[in-house]
Amino acid sequence: MLQHPAYAQQVVEDGTLPTRVKTTDNLNFTIDSINNQNRLGGNLFHSFKEFSIPTGGSAFFNNSTDVVNIINRVTGGSISSVDGLIKANGNANLFLINPAGIVFGKNTRLDIGGSFFGSTAESIKFSDDVEFSAIDIAKPALLSINLPLGLQMGINSKTIEVKGDGYTTTSENINNDGDVFVPFIVTNLNGLRVKSGNTLALIGGEVSLNGGIVVADSGRVELGGVNQGLVNITNLNTKSSFLDYKDVENFGDLTLSSLALADASGVGSGSIQLQGKNISIKDGSRAFVQSQGLESGEKIKVNATQSIEIVGTDLSGNLDSSLLTETIGTGNAAEIAISTPSLLLSEGARIITHTFSPGRGGNININASEVLQISDLSSINPSNETEISTLSFNSGSAGEINIATQNLLILGQEVSSATFGIGNGGDVSVSTEKLTIFNGGVIASATLGIGNGGDVEVNAKSINLQGINNDNFTPSTLSASSLAIGNAGNLTVNTERLIVKNGGRVDSSTLAVGNSGSVTVNATDFIEVTGTVRGSVNPSLIVSSANIVDESLQQLLRLPAIPSGNSGNVDINTPVLKVNNGAEVTVRNDGAGKGGILNINTNSILLNSNGKITASTQSGEGGNIDLDVKDGLILRNQSLISAEAGGTGNGGNININSSVIAGLENSDIVANAIKGNGGNIKLNTSGLFGLEFRDKLTIESDITASSQFGVNGTVEINNPAIDPSSSFVKLPTDVIDSSQEVASGCSVNQGNSFTVIGKGGLAANPQEAIVDVNFWKDLRDFSTTNIAKKTSMQVKNDSPKAIVEATGWVIDKQGNVEFVAQSSNVNAGDSWHKASNCKGEFTSKK
């Protein structure tokens, strides 16, 4: 509540213009002109020392009906307190400026034919450079024949306050569970109100509606907090009249509290503009435009140079603080446009558009250059969620949601578009540097009717989805879903880094007849899907699915026991994919529909600690898994790649292209079925480690494609062709260097021996497996060399053929490999246990 100094409740002219004020009871005042000396063209000017109307009183401007603008200034330095009727003849616009401030009480009424401008401006400017000033009255007042151009606000301009008891509504609009599915109806519009198609503008250093109501039926409401600068008036006397703040130097605060209402509803086009430094809408207060006829609503435009806060509900907890547009006619609902560095929604507040007709719902466009935070249920009524949403309840489509911000933080609340009727849901688009969704927060589109759900697209440098709402177990989610006949929309995520943790989800699903949409995730750095909901087995997910839900939810949402829609596809493109600690990347169908296709293109995949990549169906055709992994696919600690089918469904196919595939610690690749046929598994890899094909699952790491009652699937493992000769090292043709001989006493036919066990000194080939290092040991018994005994040795004189290097190989009939050379018939030497002689021998054993 603003505090003001005492003010007189009377209307008194200041004598600077031929204004005449008459009263018989100091309660009701009649204002006219002496011989029209204060009129110039269509403009009529008045100047007051004081202008205050007591409760139940009136101020009647007795003007000619051909007057276009009644322009009034208050110069005495006291606040104007208005708690009665302001009336004028004809269709004239009425301007009231008082630099000292203006307070409109709850009994204030307007009975004028044109627009009303109330301001704490110092002067009104005209197009011929004439300025009608309320602070410089020493000079004779200059009057102008031209239209007013603008309101000149001084430094630290004073406040305008509108007081009241707040709006009331019908019982149908009050729903204790926080959901309102009927048009909003206001049952009292007592306050400042202009006639249809006109503008109601309040411009002060600060503007406060404390339970106050301002209404411009099918017209325009302008509320602006301006401390210094020129507020331009554009297109005065036309339906497109509006205020332009481009020449404002400093803005002031704007507050709507205690069920305050700004309303521009009607059969024509209505609009609202809120402008200020810090804008606060609280205690169930609302800015509201309802399109009721053929014309479309225009816009609710909210601009703040520092912050916008929309917070809380009324004291009952049933009426939320909100920006709200609706259509109940054939025209479209007004859009909502917000521009601010910081936007905070909390404690049950809403930004929302509805269509209850063939008209289209309004779009919501938000530009919060620094931060947008959506958090906290209503503390009075916890069933009241905080949300940004567009909803359709008829044949008109829901509006779009477009959000651009540096940081988007959603804590347990939601951004969503949904259809409950024939019309389609709206698309949801988010662009941000950092997206954080915790505690069951949601960005989603959904269909609960015949119409299709909208698409969801999120563009962010980093995305972090974590946890669930502990009250209703809703996971933190990016979602596009179908709960009825219509198909779910597609979900696209473009980011550098995506973390889905502790039950978070990236999810397109169907629970009914409609098909689920596709999920596409593009992450230039990495994707990590990890963990489960704490205390449960519900995993973190990237998923497109058709799900069976529990019976209570089926009854609540009128869902079938078994969904018949098809699952969509999941496409993932990222350098690194990690799926850990029970998390899952999957396409799934629990009903009769088809499973989707799971495509992953990446440099590396790590599945660890029960991480899963799966495609499953119950009775429809199994989903397929296609993995294109440039470097390596690693499965550890009971991880799983599976394309299984339950019931009569056939197992899906698994196709993996990867340089290396390793499965360790009971990790499996499975394409099994029960009554249907097993799926096919095809692996193209240069290295397969730890995994073996088996007919059934074991405690080892298995590859299996079986069916319990149907035909088993196939497993195909392809290794790139390897040239056997690549394992050989080319040796020089001449293995003897005569210059390096140790002794020359023995000829080639003498009985020396040279023996190599294994590879000996041959160079290792890098493509061959590492083996133990060979060693040499002389096994001859030299103990007899000390015995004085004459030993004779017969040396054969046959000249043996020289030993040469093998130059090729052949396979004999038994499958053995034999090395061959150009030379043959090499004589075997004596046993290496014989005494040495000069006869040479080469033996190679492997």
Question: Does residue 434 form part of some domain?
Answer: no
Over residues 570-586, mean pLDDT: 98
pLDDT at position 42 is 92
State whether 656 and 686 are in the same domain: yes
**Maximum Cα–Cα distance across the chain:** 163
Rounded Cα–Cα distance for residues 501 and 540 (Å): 6
- As a whole number of angstroms, the distance between CA 357 and CA 620 comes to 38
343 lies in a domain? yes
- Together in a domain, 619 and 733: no
657 vs 377, more confident: 657
Residue 478 near residue 428 (C-beta atoms within 8 A): no
Q: Which residues pair with 116 in a beta bridge?
A: 94, 200
Q: Is residue 171 domain-shared with residue 72, that is, in the same domain?
A: no
> Tokens 């009324």 — which residue?
314
Query: What's the mean pLDDT in 170-183?
Result: 65
Task: Write down the pTM of the prediction.
Answer: 0.84
Q: Are 513 and 501 in contact (CB under 8 A)?
A: no
The answer to whether residue 422 sits within a structural domain is no
pLDDT, residue 756, reads 52
Question: Beta-carbon neighbour count of residue 801 at 10 Å?
Answer: 12
**In terms of Cα–Cα distance, which of 76, 103, 298 is closest to 192?**
103
Q: Are residues 65 and 162 in the same domain?
A: no
Cβ atoms of 356 and 392 within 8 Å: the answer is no
Yes or no: say if 618 and 589 are a contact pair by the CB < 8 Å rule.
yes
Mean pLDDT of 325-348: 98
> Residue 551: what are its φ and ψ, rounded to 5°?
-60, -35
Distance CA 150, CA 245 (A): 10
Give the other-Cβ count within 10 Å of 735's Cβ.
11
Tell me the average pLDDT across 580-600: 92
Closest to 50 in 3D by CA, of 104, 118, 85, 101 = 101
Q: Does residue 312 sit in the same domain as residue 182?
A: yes
* Mean pLDDT confidence for 146-171: 93
pLDDT mean over 197-209:
97
Domain count, the chain: 4
What Cα–Cα distance (Å) separates residue 565 from each residue in 350, 481, 485, 523, 591? 32, 11, 9, 29, 8
Is the same domain home to 188 and 118? no
As a whole number of angstroms, the distance between CA 275 and CA 243 comes to 10
pLDDT at 642 over 80: yes
CA–CA separation, 339 and 414 (whole Å): 20
* Half-sphere exposure for 203 (CA within 13 Å, toward CB): 34
Q: Note the residue count of the chain.
A: 846
Structural contact between residues 805 and 821, judged by C-beta atoms closer than 8 angstroms: yes
Q: Is 184 found in the same domain as 74?
A: no
Query: Is residue 591 in a domain?
Result: no
| Burial class of residue 138 in the structure, from the number of CB atoms within 10 Å of its CB (0-12 exposed, 13-18 middle, 19+ buried) | exposed
Strands 350-355 and 387-392: parallel
**Residue 44 bridge partners (DSSP):** 39, 70
Average pLDDT over residues 550-565: 80
Indicate if the pLDDT at residue 674 is higher than 90. no
Q: In terms of Cα–Cα distance, which of 645, 721, 654, 640 is closest to 682?
A: 654
In this structure, the answer to whether residues 740 and 772 fall within a common structural domain is: yes
- What average pLDDT score do residues 406-432 get? 97
In a domain, 358, yes or no: yes
Among 357, 391, 425, the domain-final residue is 391
Flag whether 529 is in a domain. no
Alpha-carbon torsion (412, 415, 421, 425), positive or negative: negative
Angle, CA of 314, 318 and 323, to the nearest 5°: 70
User: What are the phi and psi torsion angles at 351 (to 5°)?
Assistant: -120, 115
316 shares its domain with 385: yes
- Asked if residue 714 is part of any domain, the answer here is yes
Nearest to 302 by CA among 268, 346, 334, 332: 334
Task: Give me the pLDDT at residue 803, please.
Answer: 52
CA distance 266 to 595: 49
Residue 73 token pair: 């200034």
User: Would you say residue 636 has pLDDT above 60?
Assistant: yes
- 748 has a pLDDT exceeding 80: no
* Predicted local distance difference test score (pLDDT) of residue 502: 96
Domain boundary at 391, 422, 447, which? 391
Grade residue 115 by pLDDT with cuts at 50, 70 and 90.
very high
Structure tokens at 295: 């014309």
Over the stretch 473-519, which tens digit does the pLDDT of each residue have?
A: 889 999 999 999 999 999 999 999 999 999 999 999 998 899 999 99
Same domain, 193 and 339: yes
Residue 426 confidence (pLDDT) above 90: yes
User: Angle CA(527)–CA(528)–CA(532) in degrees, nearest 5?
Assistant: 145
How many CB atoms lie under 10 A from the CB of residue 294?
12
Last residue of a domain, one of 106, 124, 153: 153
∠ CA(305), CA(426), CA(386), 5° rounding? 55
In this predicted structure, the answer to whether residue 730 has a pLDDT above a threshold of 70 is: no
User: What's the mean pLDDT in 316-339?
Assistant: 96
Domain assignment of residue 421, yes or no: no
Cβ-based neighbour number of residue 736 at 10 Å:
12
Which structural domain, as residue segments, surrounds residue 168? 155-391
- The vertex-266 CA angle with 261 and 269, nearest 5°, equals 105
Q: Looking at residue 552, what is its pLDDT?
A: 74
Percent over 90 (pLDDT), the chain:
67
Amino acid at 639: S
Q: Which residue has the higher pLDDT, 165 or 553?
A: 165
Instruction: For residues 732 and 772, state if they share a domain.
Output: yes
The 8-class DSSP code of residue 427 comes to P
Higher pLDDT, 337 or 713: 337
Contacts of 725 (CB under 8 A, 6+ apart): none
CATH number at residue 29: 2.160.20.10
Contacts for 735 with CB less than 8 Å, ≥ 6 apart: 803, 805
Backbone angles phi, psi at 432, to 5 degrees: -155, 155
Mean of pLDDT over the chain: 86
For tokens 């276009």, the residue is 68
Q: Are 235 and 201 in contact (CB under 8 A)?
A: no
Please give the average per-residue pLDDT across 380-398, as a whole number. Answer: 94
- The answer to whether 228 and 251 are in contact (CB under 8 A) is no
- Per-residue pLDDT tens over the stretch 64-77: 999 999 999 999 99
Co-location of 695 and 754 in the same domain: no
Whether the Cβ atoms of residue 500 and residue 506 lie closer than 8 Å to each other: yes
Structure tokens at 582: 């029970």
Q: What local confidence, expressed as pLDDT, does residue 826 receive?
A: 40
Residue 792: pLDDT over 70: no
